[in-house]
Amino acid sequence: MMTLDKFEEASEAVMKVTNRTKLVYSDYFSEMTGNKVYLKPENMQNTGAYKVRGAYYKISTLSDEERKKGLITASAGNHAQGVAYAAKIYGAKAVIVMPTTTPLIKVNRTKSYGAEVILYGNVYDEACQYALDLAKEHGYTFIHPFNDEVVATGQGSIAMEIIKELPTVDIILCPVGGGGLLAGVSTLVKLLNPNIKVIGVEPSGANCMQESLKASHVVTLPVVDTIADGTAVKTPGDVIFPYIQSNVDDIITVEDKELIVSFLDMVENHKMIVENSGLLTVAALKKLDVTGKKVVSILSGGNMDVITMSSIVQHGLIERGRIFTVSVLLPDKPGELVNIASVIAKEQGNVVRLEHNQFVSINRNTAVELVITLEAFGHEHKKAIVKALEKKGYNPKLIQPKGTYM
């Protein structure tokens, strides 16, 4: 059972392995939402995520014999690092099964703590079943990433820190994958102050908890499809599900494109790298139908590889109208390139890339296709540039940008 005594024990235990992630007040998100928004930056932990809390607390409660058998888990990355880190402290062998889609940075960091990493399956659920099979075959002690009351109790230490620092908090937004973090946070919050609302946030393409709550029993999704790899779970935990049923006030879902924009918000306004799963609560801020409340968004992790980061930034700029591409047809005669460049310059557009093709037509009045990728200040500026080109008779056509512009 997750009791207040156990939460207090866990909170004291995890202090040995966690950084003090003090709340960060966000002027940007507060002004945007009309609430007082605070960020709980678990992306600043040594392992890059909150998962070390539950992993360490669970392993600390095991017997020496259980640890000597070797530890095994399945994880999309953050729990893997938590188990590997804690196992190293206790001198225990750690075997981690990770989906083949796990970002390279998470794989390498898990290995850096001395763990043996096995890549298996396309999603967490497949990796988990393989880890369970290996545990049975070799006698390893399995450390579940979320469907475990002890692990969830360790994760709940986040709520203890939030309430100690901000006792008057009104709403806590919590990312949801399998539900361990949400179960721990919501249960402790309701034990300490039932008036505080706890809202889980899931990706729309992996909303297993939302569907389970609707059905009043654990539901398995046929597929999951989201860029939030840390929360790409088909089936929530049945052990911790009753706690969520009793203590969670609501579930919000967000689309992947909202996570992309939220990444830019965090980088530009808080200079923080937060992975897609950690951005769920940031994207959800815009969906709260309240004002004047004190809201805490838990940023669950920040383990994102550079390639993914580059792609997210690029797509975010496109989504915001700060990068766009137009195609125009020009007469095949000298000076036309200068003319169109002058129109763009007058509107303060910045050319990122030009593609000039003379062979699209035999009609010399429209013989040259010019594909221009531009940088703008946003959607309104983008519209102004397109309108200026139209006034000059260029008939610009917006097309999907391609390539990398960073």
Catalytic residue among 51, 58, 197, 382: 51
Cβ neighbour number for residue 395 with a 10 Å cutoff: 12
- Spatial strand order in the sheet of 116-119: 116-119, 94-98, 71-74, 141-142
Q: Note if 300 is an active site residue.
A: yes
- Rounded Cα distance, 15 and 308, in Å: 31
Whether 53 contacts 157, CB under 8 Å: yes
Give the strand pairing for 294-299 and 171-175: parallel
Cβ neighbour number for residue 287 with a 10 Å cutoff: 14
Cβ neighbour number for residue 167 with a 10 Å cutoff: 11
Whether 54 contacts 158, CB under 8 Å: no
Whether 282 contacts 23, CB under 8 Å: no
- Rounded Cα distance, 285 and 1, in Å: 32
Query: Where in the sequence numbering do the catalytic residues fall?
Result: 51, 300
